[in-house]
Amino acid sequence: TDASNDSSFKFQGEKLLGSLGGMFSKTWKPKKTRAIIGPLVTRDDSQRRGAHLEQRKKLGLTPVPRGGSKSQTPPLEPTNTFQKVEVEKSKQDVALSDLSDLLGELKDMAIDMGSEIERQNKNLNGLQDDVDELNFRVRGANQRARRLLGK
């Protein structure tokens, strides 16, 4: 692989520099406190789907029936005041049912967004540890370079 070839070339270069003597006799060995892992990419949708369903159960959400309210059709021509009130009530019921369906969809979206944000935060936490480690190594390399240039 390319990474193993790169490290073997670096090792050979350090050996050649060490053979020159003088300030090149000490090869640089960086201080490593831990390995760089990189971000953990998880794309297991079945696991995410299970967590999503678990979250929905915790919140007390059940699948919202879609379109069931639109099957109720009021009479076309109300004949008295009572029927007019009933027609208006049924229209309001349909509108409230549609609003309820929309709010259910928004809840679904919010739950999906929350689980995605949670997953991204976990990945960023691991990445932050790697950034801290790389900063530590770069500071050490800079100190070593300043000492070498100062001689």
% of the chain at pLDDT higher than 70: 60
Rounded to an integer, the average pLDDT of 21-39 is 69
Task: Name, of 3-17, 41-55, 103-117, 124-138, the range with top average pLDDT.
Answer: 103-117
Angle at 12 between CA 7 and CA 14, to 5 degrees: 95
Residue 113 DSSP code: H
pLDDT digits (tens, 9 = 90+) for 76-98: 677 899 999 999 999 999 999 99
Rounded CA-CA distance 84/31 in Å is: 83
Q: Evaluate if pTM is beyond 0.85.
A: no
Q: What is the DSSP string of 20-77?
A: H-GGGSSPP----SS----------HHHHHHHHHHHHHHTT--PPPPSSGGG----SS
Q: Is the pLDDT of residue 147 over 90?
A: no
Pick the most confident of 24-28, 109-113, 118-122: 109-113
Q: Where are the domains of the chain?
A: 1-26, 31-68+78-150
